[in-house]
Amino acid sequence: MSGERDMTGSGSDSGATNAMWGGRFADGPSAIMREINASIPFDKALWREDIAASKAHVAMLAACGIVAAEDAGVIANGLEAVAAEYERDGVPENWDLEDIHMTTEARLAELIGPVAGRLHTARSRNDQVATDFRLWVRGRMEAMDQALADLQRALVTRAGEHKGSIMPGFTHLQTAQPVTLGHHLMAYYEMFRRDRSRLADARARMNECPLGSAALAGTGFAIDREMTAQALGFAAPTANSLDAVSDRDFAMDFLWCCSTTALHLSRLAEELILWASQPFGFIRLPDSLSTGSSIMPQKKNPDAAELVRGHAGRVIGALTSLMITMKGLPLAYSKDMQDDKPPVFEAASLMELSLAAMTGMIAGSSFDTARMRAAAELGYATATDLADWLVRVADIPFREAHHITGSAVKLAESRGTALDQLPLADLKAIDERIDERVYAALSVDASVAARRSYGGTAPTQVGLQVERARAALGMEE
Ligand code: ARG
């Protein structure tokens, strides 16, 4: 149906004017016009929302006495029949019908005859597409929230298993202080908790119904916008018809939510990739989410994690794309706005895949806790504990304690040994106030156990974080 492209771009291929809007035209659109104009190849994804909005609209038209109840019934049944065809055979792509709205209306007319023409009373494709797209985005916000909750459950489960598993904590990717793996995983739980709250805000803000704004100015028919808003699950009708048909903030809010989540997923993916590399060796990713190399038989590549990291670029690109599409548009609708959908559709499906892949990797990975612990014991991760001990037990000001500890690290480094392997005599030579009790503070276990401040890495604190999260997620005991 898409037809041959007429490279001259001039004149009509068929000579026929458009059946929906061609009344004032002598000649039909060129092949290029038909192709550039057609959004059906992508906006057919809105068919369910389009049918739902049309059913709500026609029911309202009947309730307000604008369309006879009998006609409205025929139209509603016809819409059901069209929906059943779409469900069974997919949505046909005919560029002449431009978009999902005209495709559905044209099929409705084929099925029920001229009465189909009454459906488009008191509305325009401008409020129609704004309504359909909001419904679609709202559905994806809900789905994304659920996918985030699944990922949080996986994180909390693994964190609960590893409340006490010690690993190096990093700053600048240099060993800083020992932390627990549970603590590290719960950090991502918090990021995804904020992501869900951002989605909830965006959903609440966007839940207003544009239907009835018509082309831009509202309508002279005595419609009931509360009724359609309610039927479609919106909290209220939009307040200004010009804004309603030209607003795509809801889509940009969604893409912002997607971008932030994608960014968080990308950071986690990056850590999994590092941890899975041989020099780290902290983690074995599930075979089911890894690939092999066609040339190096020993390889197991973290492709799913790499693609999650890569997808973040495309998702952030989608946000940028829509913002740039919108930035110069005068009120109200301009056809540029038809380009709002591909980036949103793409971002939504990338997010669905990325979230599912990440949930699988978190749930299915095995952690080499012995190796993590050994890494934590390297790199003088407990140097801060020595300094803290000097402050606490020997009553030395922190700055001075920091300096003394630096000397101890330097000595240990020159001997190629760990801090707690330095003999007491050598420590005393650095500062005579050090005594044998210091050794109890220098183990990685003592270090993490000591960090009991609220939100800290001590297994008891991590346990509390896990408990609170399990309660928030409704995870049974
Ligand atoms: N396909 C169009 C879109 O996605 C629908 C609105 C068209 N409105 C118009 N006046 N041409 O934006």
pLDDT at 45 exceeding the cut of 60: yes
Is the C-beta atom of 385 inside 6 A of ligand 1? no
pLDDT reading at 8 higher than 50: no
Asked if residue 43 has its Cβ within 6 Å of ligand 1, the reply is: yes
DSSP three-state, residue 13: coil
CA-proximal residue: ligand 1, atom 1 (nearest): 99
- Tell me: pLDDT of 315 over 90: yes
Q: Which of 148, 224, 252 is CA-nearest to residue 193?
A: 148
With cut-offs at 50, 70 and 90, classify the pLDDT of residue 477. low
- Enumerate the β-bridge partners of residue 284: 366
Question: 70, exposed or middle or buried, with CB in 10 Å at 0-12, 13-18, 19+?
Answer: exposed
Give the pLDDT confidence score for residue 393 in this predicted structure. 93
Cβ atoms of 39 and 341 within 8 Å: the answer is yes
What is the 215 CA–ligand 1 centroid distance (Å)? 10
pLDDT at 7 over 90: no
Residue 337 CB–ligand 1 contact under 6 Å = yes
In whole angstroms, give the CA distance from residue 328 to residue 330: 7
Q: According to the model, what pLDDT value does residue 22 have?
A: 77
Backbone Cα Rg of the chain: 31
Q: Are 145 and 196 in contact (CB under 8 A)?
A: yes
pTM of the model as a whole: 0.92
Do 245 and 332 meet the contact criterion of CB atoms below 8 Å apart? yes
Report pLDDT for 321.
98
Question: Whose CA is closest to 451, among 185, 173, 163, 162?
Answer: 163
Query: Measured from the CB, is residue 338 less than 6 Å from ligand 1?
Result: yes
Q: From atom 3 of ligand 1, which residue's Cα is the shortest distance away?
A: 338
> What are the C-alpha distances in Å from 300 to residues 287, 294, 297, 357, 396?
8, 11, 8, 16, 51
Q: Per-residue b/e over 407-430, b at no fewer than 16 CB within 10 Å?
A: ebeebbeeeeebbbebeeeebeeb
Q: What is the pLDDT of residues 398-428, one digit of tens each?
A: 999 999 999 999 999 999 888 888 999 999 9
User: Which residue shows structure tokens 């990338």?
Assistant: 350
Ligand 1: centre distance to CA 140 (Å): 21
Structure tokens at 336: 């540029």
Q: Is 124 a catalytic residue?
A: no
CA separation, residue 282 to residues 78, 285, 371 (Å): 60, 10, 6
Count the neighbouring beta carbons within 10 Å of the beta carbon of residue 335.
10
Provide the pLDDT for residue 1.
42
Cβ of 123 closer than 6 Å to ligand 1, yes or no, is no
C-beta separation of 451 from 390 below 8 A: no
- Residue 475's pLDDT is 96
Q: Is it the case that residue 12 has pLDDT exceeding 70?
A: no
Q: At what angle do helices 249-276 and 125-161 cross, to 10 degrees?
A: 30
Cβ of residue 99 lying under 6 Å from some atom of ligand 1: yes
Active site residue 30: no
**pLDDT confidence bin for 28, thresholds 50/70/90:** confident
Is the confidence at residue 4, as pLDDT, over 80?
no
User: Looking at residues 264-278, what average pLDDT do you find?
Assistant: 97
Q: How confident is the model at residue 295 (pLDDT cuts 50, 70, 90)?
A: confident
Q: Whose CA is nearest to atom 2 of ligand 1?
A: 338
Nearest residue to 81 via CA among 108, 55, 58, 54:
108
Answer yes or no: is the C-beta of 223 below 6 A from any ligand 1 atom: no
Q: Mean pLDDT, the chain, as a whole number?
A: 94
Q: What is the pLDDT of residues 326-362, one digit of tens each?
A: 999 999 999 999 999 999 999 999 999 999 999 999 9
How big is the chain, counted in residues?
477
Q: How many angstroms separate the Cα of 164 from the Cα of each of 167, 168, 447?
A: 9, 13, 12
Q: Which of 416, 414, 385, 413 is nearest to 401 (CA)?
A: 385
Q: What is the dihedral of CA 191, 193, 194, 198, to 10 degrees?
A: 130
Query: 36, 98, 129: which to mutate for ligand 1, most atoms within 8 A of CB?
Result: 129
Give me the sign of the Cα torsion angle 298, 276, 317, 255.
positive
Please give the number of the atom of ligand 1 that sits closest to the Cα of 215: 10
Ligand 1 centroid from CA 153, angstroms: 41
Give counts: helices (H), strands (E), the chain: 19, 6
User: Is the pLDDT assigned to residue 26 strictly greater than 90?
Assistant: no
Residues 6 or more apart whose CB falls under 8 angstroms from that of 87 comprise none
DSSP state, 329? P
- Please determine, for residue 5, whether its predicted confidence score (pLDDT) is greater than 70: no
**Structure confidence by residue, pLDDT tens digits, 147-184:** 999 999 999 999 999 999 999 999 999 999 999 999 99
CA dist., res. 106 & res. 190, Å (int): 49
* pLDDT over 50 at 2, yes or no: no
> Catalytic: which of 14, 197, 293, 407?
293
Q: Which of 42, 46, 126, 340 to mutate to test the pocket of ligand 1 (most atoms within 8 A of CB)?
A: 126
pLDDT of residue 19: 72
Q: How far is it, in rounded angstroms, from Cα 91 to Cα 83?
A: 9
Residue with the smallest CA separation from ligand 1 atom 11 is 335
Across residues 295-310, what is the average pLDDT? 91
- Supply the DSSP symbol for 114: G
pLDDT, one tens digit per residue, over 204-246 is: 999 999 999 999 999 999 999 999 999 999 999 999 999 999 9
Q: Using the mean position of ligand 1's atoms as its centre, give its distance from the Cα of residue 342 in Å.
A: 14
Please indicate whether residue 1 or residue 139 has the higher confidence score (pLDDT).
Answer: 139
Give the model's confidence band at 456: pLDDT under 50 very low, under 70 low, under 90 confident, else very high: very high
How large a percentage of the chain has pLDDT more than 90?
86
* pLDDT of res. 3: 43
Q: Say what the pLDDT of residue 14 is.
A: 53
